Amino acid sequence: MYLVSSSLLYPVVIGLLALFVYSLFALGDFLSEYTRQQKAQIKKNNLSESKLNYFGSDFLIRAKHVADVHELQWLVGECEIQMAHKLEQTRLLSTIGPILGLMGTLIPLGPALIGLAKGDITQLAENLVIAFATTVLGLFAGGTGYLLTIVRKRWYAQELNDIEYISEVLSHETTQTK
């Protein structure tokens, strides 16, 4: 069992480094989305002038070419699915990061304890450094994912509300023209 768990150290460290890099990209994407969010102002009485975020503006572009109320409802559902997919990415980051961080902490503790038993302080120190570094990387990835998920949930709830409002307005306009 010791051999199996020790052989997982390198994949865990590589996974943590990948999650760390991904969390940096996710932070950049979040900051970009934040700047768009700050500029987003919906003018509910004039849809042609509305300034929506990505999901809302994509919905508005697609909804202008729809003549059926049921298709509008389908488009709202599509937006919900896209939002859920975006949230899943950071939610996975917040889950997998701490798991790999814990694995990266526990795996080198075995060799560290062996080094301690042998009186090899160098082996002990090297393995403890790996253990603490993987903990930090895992917590960073997990914390970043958690923060981004919480904030985006709030943003997407507001944007979905705006999309549903636009859908209602367009549905009303569609039924009046028939």
What is the SS3 string spanning 109-134? HHHHHHHHHHCCHHHHHHHHHHHHHH
Percent of the chain exceeding pLDDT 70 equals 90
- C-alpha dist (Å) from residue 162 to 44, 74, 115, 171: 9, 16, 60, 14
Does residue 43 carry a pLDDT above 70? no
Q: What is the average pLDDT across 111-130?
A: 94
Please identify which residue in the block is written with the tokens 């010791």.
2
Q: What is the average pLDDT across 90-112?
A: 95
